[in-house]
A and B are shown apart, each in its own frame.
Chain A
Amino acid sequence: MNIAKYPFAILSAALFTVMLITPISSISNLIWLASADMPVGFITWIEVILFDFQRLGIALYAVVIIGFGIAFSVAGLISKYSSYSGKYLFAVAGAVAIGMALFLMVELLFQTQLLGGNRSIIGKILHCVAGFLGGYFFYSLVSVQRSYTFIIRFLGILYAYLVLGSALGWIFTPISAAADFGFVLNELSQAAQNALLRDFTSFFVATFLFMVLGVITLNPIWFFSVAIIYIGAAIFNLIAIYVHGTSYNQIFIFEFILGGWPAILGLTIILNNDRTKNKFL
């Protein structure tokens, strides 16, 4: 566990950091839209922040992981071979990692500023502050002994984060969400549209919430609930294809993955609980 905690701490700190970074672009964008007399209301704020939180966050995740991987390795070496160590060393490393990553994205890759929130000085400072907090969070994760539940929780949060995108899509942009599933929503009857909207939205929101509850309580029942839903979707997808003659699709592969992932988390908790119990028998 001691060795495994470092990569998972980087993955966790990176996820935490992108969750801090994305609202910077969202809010700067919303402020501009409001200043341009666009009707930016409460629902708009929620929609934009949540969407960016998920979509922009996923796009940035790999960049932050690489940045943190390099920065925290260097910080680790510095703390080993010098008198500098502790949480602020890693926090500064996190800030430098984000600052450099965003700088190099512009200078080496795109020649333009892809992150709207990073175009102003304040935005740049806020991004570095997010990196600082990410580094601080990393240190807090690695500085104490961790049990396997740390990894369970990380994988659960990551899962919920991925499912959140589909949930938001069905809530705010159902036409696009439907197109991702291969059908044109507006071509369906009103009754069919209603059925699909309520069922799909409920499906993704429920599995998102189940996973969040699993992460909080570490009760395997929540993980199995999610697993049953997605494995069921995969099985009934295959029945629809081969028994009812609907068109072939490969979504069942993802459904098996999305079902297997929480099932493994739930089983891991049960097995570890049994092991702990046996230890004291």
Chain B
Amino acid sequence: MKTKVILSILFFSSTVLSDYKYETILDNLDDAWSIVFLSEDKVLYTEMPGKLKIATLSDKSITNINNVPSVQYGGQGGLSEVVLDPEFKSNNMIYFSYSAKDANGKSTLFLSSAELKENSLINSKIIFEAKAPRRSPVHLAAKIAFLDDGTILLASGDGFDHREQAQTLDNHFGKIIRINKDGSIPLDNPFLDTKNALPEIYSYGHRNMQGLVVTSSGDVYEHEHGPRGGDEMNLVEPALNYGWPAITYGIDYSGAIISPFTEKNGMEQPLLHWTPSIAPSDMIYYEGDIYPELKDTFLVTALVSKDVKKVTFIDKNNIQESLFSELNSRLRNIQSSPSGVIYLLTDGPKGKLIKVLPKE
């Protein structure tokens, strides 16, 4: 009976949800990775080669932002996430993550803050440099989110070749970092008193996190790329170990087994895992009113499955639904405008910003 009810709900909702219309607002975006709304008509967005731009959606004009730090573009690296300070209206501060070379010439993840003033960044400051040096800019994660207390969470990926280090606390591979806006360390961080642990670490055992969301209730959710299979979505809590690569539902790209284990005491199970992989690339928790059927659900963009997964959790079960697959595009980013309109960013050197509206 329960199954029938769920199937009926799925059938009904999929019938309703197929009715969307799409409008391409911007095109020819050069590896655009992240967007954030400055107002209903203006977005600030990053392009991986190192460009930060403001687009006015009504007239499609684009303005380059000056004084952006140089980045290491290539592989999966470059200028990645940009977010606004929760107090942006009063302080004009933004935060952005990127890959660049460290003092030893190795690639790593950086987080900077700057004031956005008259199309320029001023008082730019590196507030975090990951102790996660790697030969090439891959598996950086680079997602940013603000907790309710004003501290910043930053996802720092496992660097691919350094996956085992996600299980040790003396580095920033495969960790979620928590710092204050000025780069200092919050006094209630979970590993402050742990010997040999880096004090910025909030949680560990992650792989390549591409979605990081703090809901209005203060819960932190992330999703991360698995290898072949084993993409995960997790509820993140401080000090917890999410298992990579000691436990995983995926296998290596080469076909080799990374770990035959999928669970262990002291390591968290994902809320859900996607096997085979969908390559989740971004996520929002939709709280707008434009699409009532999407309210209070997670919307996860995907590169491989080329759709948006609507994810709802009921108790410990999840219900998933594929949306916007008719776009048939690798989707890189999803954002909701201040009024609740959904915008999608497609992946690649000729990316598009697409506005999604209900047909009715």
| A interface, CB within 8 angstroms of B | 22, 25-26, 29, 32-33, 36, 38-39, 44, 47-48, 51-52, 55-56, 58-60, 111-116, 119
Distance in Å: Cβ of A180 to nearest Cβ of chain B: 12
Distance in Å: Cβ of B359 to nearest Cβ of chain A: 35
Tell me whether B63 is interfacial, beta carbon within 8 Å.
no
Q: Contact: B246 with A119, CB < 8 Å?
A: no
- Cα–Cα, bound, A55→B257 (Å): 9
| Residue from the list A29, A33, A59, A119 in contact with B255, Cβ < 8 A | A59
Q: Contact: B260 with A44, CB < 8 Å?
A: yes
Tell me whether B161 is interfacial, beta carbon within 8 Å.
yes
- Cα–Cα, bound, A32→B167 (Å): 11
Distance in Å: Cβ of A52 to nearest Cβ of chain B: 5
User: With a CB–CB cut-off of 8 A, which chain A residues contact B136?
Assistant: 111-112
User: With a CB–CB cut-off of 8 A, which chain A residues contact B135?
Assistant: 111
Tell me whether B252 is interfacial, beta carbon within 8 Å.
yes
Q: Which residue on B lies nearest to A55, using beta carbons?
A: B255
Q: Contact: B260 with A114, CB < 8 Å?
A: no
Q: Contact: B260 with A56, CB < 8 Å?
A: no
User: With a CB–CB cut-off of 8 A, which chain B residues contact A116?
Assistant: 252, 256, 258
Q: Contact: B161 with A113, CB < 8 Å?
A: yes
- Cα–Cα, bound, A112→B162 (Å): 10
Distance in Å: Cβ of A186 to nearest Cβ of chain B: 14
Distance in Å: Cβ of A63 to nearest Cβ of chain B: 10
Q: Contact: A36 with B256, CB < 8 Å?
A: no
User: With a CB–CB cut-off of 8 A, which chain A residues contact B246?
Assistant: 33, 36, 38
- Cα–Cα, bound, A59→B253 (Å): 9
- Cα–Cα, bound, A91→B254 (Å): 26
Query: Closest 9 CB pairs between A and B?
Result: A55-B255, A111-B136, A56-B256, A112-B160, A59-B255, A52-B256, A56-B255, A113-B161, A48-B257
Contacts A111-B75, A111-B138, A114-B252 given: A26-B257 contact, CB under 8 Å?
A: yes
- Cα–Cα, bound, A243→B75 (Å): 53
- Cα–Cα, bound, A59→B161 (Å): 19
| Residue from the list B161, B252, B255, B258 in contact with A58, Cβ < 8 A | B255
Q: Contact: A36 with B257, CB < 8 Å?
A: no
Q: What are 16 A-B contacts defined by CB distance under 8 Å? A: A25-B254, A25-B256, A38-B264, A47-B260, A52-B257, A55-B251, A56-B254, A58-B255, A59-B254, A111-B138, A112-B136, A112-B138, A112-B160, A113-B161, A114-B253, A116-B256
Distance in Å: Cβ of A21 to nearest Cβ of chain B: 11
| Residue from the list B75, B161, B260 in contact with A119, Cβ < 8 A | B161
Tell me whether B313 is interfacial, beta carbon within 8 Å.
no
- Cα–Cα, bound, A1→B63 (Å): 71
Q: Which residue on A lies nearest to B275, using beta carbons?
A: A176
- Cα–Cα, bound, A92→B169 (Å): 42
Contacts A111-B136, A112-B161, A119-B161 given: A48-B255 contact, CB under 8 Å?
A: no
Instruction: Report the count of interface residues on B (CB-CB < 8 A).
Output: 21
Q: Contact: B254 with A115, CB < 8 Å?
A: yes
Q: Which residue on B lies nearest to A50, using beta carbons?
A: B257
Q: Which residue on B lies nearest to A173, using beta carbons?
A: B260
User: With a CB–CB cut-off of 8 A, which chain B residues contact A119?
Assistant: 161
Q: Which residue on A lies nearest to B229, using beta carbons?
A: A176
Contacts A38-B246, A116-B252 given: A51-B257 contact, CB under 8 Å?
A: yes
Tell me whether B20 is interfacial, beta carbon within 8 Å.
no
User: With a CB–CB cut-off of 8 A, which chain A residues contact B138?
Assistant: 111-112
Chain B, 35-46, contact with A by CB distance < 8 Å: what is the 0/1 string? 000000000000
User: With a CB–CB cut-off of 8 A, which chain A residues contact B254?
Assistant: 25, 56, 59-60, 114-115
- Cα–Cα, bound, A44→B252 (Å): 17
Q: Contact: A33 with B259, CB < 8 Å?
A: yes
Q: Contact: B255 with A38, CB < 8 Å?
A: no
- Cα–Cα, bound, A88→B270 (Å): 52
Q: For chain B residues 242-285, which have a beta carbon within 8 Å of chain A?
A: 246, 251-261, 264
Q: Which residue on B lies nearest to A36, using beta carbons?
A: B246
User: With a CB–CB cut-off of 8 A, which chain A residues contact B167?
Assistant: 36
- Cα–Cα, bound, A38→B253 (Å): 22
User: With a CB–CB cut-off of 8 A, which chain A residues contact B164?
Assistant: 32, 36
Distance in Å: Cβ of A36 to nearest Cβ of chain B: 5
Q: Contact: A29 with B257, CB < 8 Å?
A: yes
Distance in Å: Cβ of B32 to nearest Cβ of chain A: 22
User: With a CB–CB cut-off of 8 A, which chain B residues contact A29?
Assistant: 256-259
User: With a CB–CB cut-off of 8 A, which chain A residues contact B259?
Assistant: 29, 33, 38
User: With a CB–CB cut-off of 8 A, which chain B residues contact A26?
Assistant: 256-257
User: With a CB–CB cut-off of 8 A, which chain A residues contact B161?
Assistant: 112-113, 119
User: With a CB–CB cut-off of 8 A, which chain B residues contact A44?
Assistant: 260
20 further A-B contacts with Cβ under 8 Å, apart from A36-B167, A114-B252, are A25-B254, A25-B256, A26-B257, A29-B256, A29-B258, A29-B259, A36-B246, A38-B259, A47-B257, A47-B260, A52-B256, A55-B251, A59-B255, A60-B254, A111-B135, A112-B136, A114-B254, A115-B256, A116-B252, A116-B256
| Residue from the list A47, A55, A112, A113 in contact with B256, Cβ < 8 A | A55
- Cα–Cα, bound, A47→B259 (Å): 11
Distance in Å: Cβ of A172 to nearest Cβ of chain B: 8
- Cα–Cα, bound, A112→B135 (Å): 8
Distance in Å: Cβ of A117 to nearest Cβ of chain B: 9
